[in-house]
Amino acid sequence: MTSAAVTGTAARNGGTRRIIVMMGAPGAGKGTQAERLAEAMGLPHVSTGELFRAMRKSDTPLAEQVRGYMDSGALVPDDIVVAMVDDRLTWKDAANGVILDGFPRTVAQAEALDGMLARVGTAVSAAPYIEVPTELLLARLTGRRICTADDQHLYHVVAMPPKRDGICDIDGAKLYQRVDDSEDTVQGRLDKQLPPMFEVVDYYASNNVLFPVPGDQPPADVTEELLRLINTKASA
């Protein structure tokens, strides 16, 4: 990759390139915290969701390949996802580092990321892990309620409850829960997503870059603790 020389230089000059890998289950607030860290640290927030959307508009051979998988409904293979992240790391705005969100999802991807970073003389500096008990994840992920009269009227039984149980504050219509948000669906999703995530968590723990932070506290406190850990403990 031609622009790899650019990042290699950035890593050597000062050695302050920070590769932050956000870890956390769905409902842990990982995306929100990644956004806040990105702003506080002046680094780009790179989520795989956004990378995939960018590939829709991009005109490179890699983008064409990715679109092929997406259009056929097939899972995009690891090496392609890794190539996407590899490419993203060579962008100018990533010269001082990135906050990765949604990648790596598996140990194979984590190993590929390490290999890719090693080639440009750098490594993962920190893997902050927002730890939330499964019961709380379930409560957060199943709490959404939607107005039957207007789907823009959104509530959450814990975070943003209506004044009257099950009734829209704005128009008095009944609230309902999407099937996607039902306990069975959410539990099924967690059963599928958590085991590979725990393997990646263990991988980073054994590499001494895992920083667990309790996620069952106000978001501002989580951010503060994350920044403190990254600034005091993370290798640059």
**Residue with smaller CB distance to Zn ion, 171 or 202:** 171
Q: What is the dihedral of CA 68, 72, 76, 81, to 10 degrees?
A: 30
30 is catalytic: yes
Asked if 153 interacts with Zn ion (CB under 5 A), we say yes
Nearer to Zn ion, 75 or 173 (CB): 173
Please tell me whether residue 154 binds Zn ion under the rule CB under 5 A.
Answer: no
Interface residue with Zn ion among 41, 168, 186, 190 (CB under 5 A) is 168
Residue nearer to Zn ion on the CB measure, 5 or 170: 170
CB 99 within 8 A of CB 181: no
> Does residue 24 sit in helix, strand or coil?
strand
Does position 146 interact with Zn ion (CB under 5 A)? The reply is no
Rounded-to-integer distance, Cα 210 and Cα 204, Å? 5
**In the complex, least distance from residue 168 CB atom to Zn ion, rounded to whole angstroms:** 3
Side-chain-side CA neighbours of residue 192 (13 Å): 6
Contact 215, 5 (CB under 8 A): no
The answer to whether 170 contacts Zn ion (rule: CB under 5 A) is yes
- Site for Zn ion (CB under 5 A): which residue of 64, 150, 183, 202? 150
Known catalytic membership, residue 178: yes
Of 63 and 167, nearer to Zn ion (C-beta) is: 167
**Distance of alpha carbon 229 from alpha carbon 115, whole angstroms:** 25
CB of 180 to Zn ion, least distance (A): 19
Query: How far apart are CB 122 and Zn ion at their closest, in Å?
Result: 50
SS3 126: strand
Contacts 24+ apart (CB under 8 A), 194-198: 194/25, 194/134, 196/105, 196/106, 196/107, 197/23, 197/25, 197/105
Structure tokens at 112: 């590929």
Pick one of 110, 147, 201, 213: the residue that binds Zn ion (CB under 5 A): 147
From 140-148, 177-185, 215-223, 226-234, span contacting Zn ion (CB under 5 A): 140-148
Q: What are phi and psi of 196, to 5 degrees?
A: -65, -35
Which is closer to Zn ion, CB of 8 or CB of 162?
162
Q: Residue 141, interface with Zn ion (CB under 5 A)?
A: no
Q: How many residues bind Zn ion (CB under 5 A)?
A: 8
Catalytic position from the list 92, 164, 178, 233: 178
User: By the criterion CB under 5 A, which residues form the site for Zn ion?
Assistant: 147, 149-150, 153, 168, 170-171, 173
